């Protein structure tokens, strides 16, 4: 199976990540046994979680007996395990309506698109255009829906500072992330940014006025990727389409 893991380990890992996204905290074997149909005992789940920890897919916070997924686990989940939740027709129609009137004005289009994206995903949305000294962003209040940020104001402050640093965001969107990749997910831990290890960045690219643009969602590492990724891809394609 994936990354040398057994089918049982994959099942446990996927269930644990689903639960982690839902509860925003460490997940224990008892919780997995009660909520997910794993077909094995809590003791066996515990043993497999220990193996997954040794393999670098889980880690154990000092204050908890439960486990949380590492960036390595989240990447496996995003690439191979999760099931994307498609947008409804009504959501697609609303997205088009939200940006249509601004289609001939790049500044307004990206402003409207980030606001609409933030509203649909309940996240912080950011857009940038290569070599431009401006960033479009929306959804700041959504940051406070996540305990990772409300419980550590230094992380929150560092996140808001990042959004204000155009050069840093341009480096992220147009140099660290491949402009030809349809979608990329990066974690603060991988980027080596001080005080931003708990964040996740999901980004896609679009074309506007002959320029390369990037659209991203920034939030905790436990972003609801099955929901956010299809919405982000849709908005990226929508911007390219209406800006023609």
Q: Cα–Cα distances in Å, from 29 out to 44, 76, 97, 166?
A: 9, 20, 45, 43
CATH of the domain at 74: 1.10.10.10
Q: How far apart are CA 216 and CA 224, in angstroms?
A: 14
Task: Please report which confidence band the pLDDT of residue 152 belongs to, taking 50, 70 and 90 as the band edges.
Answer: confident
- Give per-residue pLDDT as tens, 112-125: 999 999 999 999 99
Residue 72: partners with Cβ closer than 8 Å, 6 or more residues away: 56, 57
Q: Compare 228 and 62 and report the one with higher pLDDT.
A: 228
Q: What is the mean pLDDT of the chain?
A: 92
Q: How far apart are CA 30 and CA 60, in angstroms?
A: 15
Handedness of CA 152, 154, 159, 163 (dihedral sign): positive
Q: Among residues 81, 103, 135, which one ends one of the domains?
A: 81
pLDDT value at 1 more than 60: no
Assess whether 70 and 131 both reside in one domain: no
Assess whether 22 and 126 both reside in one domain: no
Q: Among residues 81, 110, 140, which one ends one of the domains?
A: 81
pLDDT of residue 116: 98
Mean pLDDT of 131-152: 91
Q: Among residues 81, 110, 137, which one ends one of the domains?
A: 81
Q: How far apart are CA 4 and CA 46, in angstroms?
A: 19
Burial grade of 218 (CB within 10 A; 0-12, 13-18, 19 or more): buried
Assess whether 72 and 101 both reside in one domain: no
* Total tally of structural domains belonging to the chain: 2
Q: Compare 24 and 65 and report the one with higher pLDDT.
A: 24
- Give per-residue pLDDT as tens, 74-98: 999 999 999 999 999 999 999 999 9
Residue 143: φ, ψ to 5°: -55, -35
Assess whether 156 and 98 both reside in one domain: yes
Assess whether 107 and 178 both reside in one domain: yes
Structure tokens at 218: 């920034």
Residue 64: φ, ψ to 5°: -140, 150
Structure tokens at 163: 């959004």
Assess whether 233 and 174 both reside in one domain: yes
pLDDT of residue 177: 82
pLDDT of residue 2: 66
Mean pLDDT of 228-236: 97
- Give per-residue pLDDT as tens, 169-209: 999 999 888 777 789 999 988 887 778 888 999 999 999 98
Domain carrying residue 171: 89-242
| Residue tagged 């249509």 (tokens) | 100
Handedness of CA 52, 55, 57, 61 (dihedral sign): positive
pLDDT of residue 182: 81
Question: CA angle 80-224-56, nearest 5°?
Answer: 50
pLDDT value at 10 more than 90: yes
Structure tokens at 51: 């193996």
Assess whether 147 and 76 both reside in one domain: no
Assess whether 31 and 137 both reside in one domain: no
């Amino acid at each position: 199976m994936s990354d040398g893991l057994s089918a049982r380990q994959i099942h446990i890992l996927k269930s644990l990540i689903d639960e982690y996204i839902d509860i925003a905290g460490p997940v224990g074997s008892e919780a997995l046994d009660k909520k997910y149909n794993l077909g094995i005992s809590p003791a066996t789940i515990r043993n497999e979680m220990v193996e997954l920890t040794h393999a670098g897919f889980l880690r154990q916070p000092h204050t908890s007996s439960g486990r949380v997924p590492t960036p390595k686990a989240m990447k496996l989940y995003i690439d191979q395990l999760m099931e994307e939740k498609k947008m409804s027709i009504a959501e697609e129609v609303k997205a088009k309506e939200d940006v249509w009137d601004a289609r001939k004005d790049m500044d307004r289009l990206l402003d409207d698109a980030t606001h609409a994206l933030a509203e649909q995903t309940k996240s912080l949305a950011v857009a940038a255009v290569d070599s431009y000294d401006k960033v479009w962003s929306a959804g700041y209040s959504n940051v406070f829906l996540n305990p990772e940020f409300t419980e550590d104001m230094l992380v929150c402050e560092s996140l808001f500072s990042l959004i204000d640093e155009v050069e840093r965001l341009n480096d992220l969107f147009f140099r660290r992330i491949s402009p030809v990749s349809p979608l990329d997910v990066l974690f603060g831990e991988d980027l080596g940014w001080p005080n931003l290890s708990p964040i996740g960045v999901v980004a896609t690219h679009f074309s506007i006025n002959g320029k390369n643009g990037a659209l991203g969602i920034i939030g905790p590492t436990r972003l609801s990727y099955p929901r956010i990724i299809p919405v982000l891809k849709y908005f990226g394609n929508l911007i390219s389409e209406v800006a023609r």
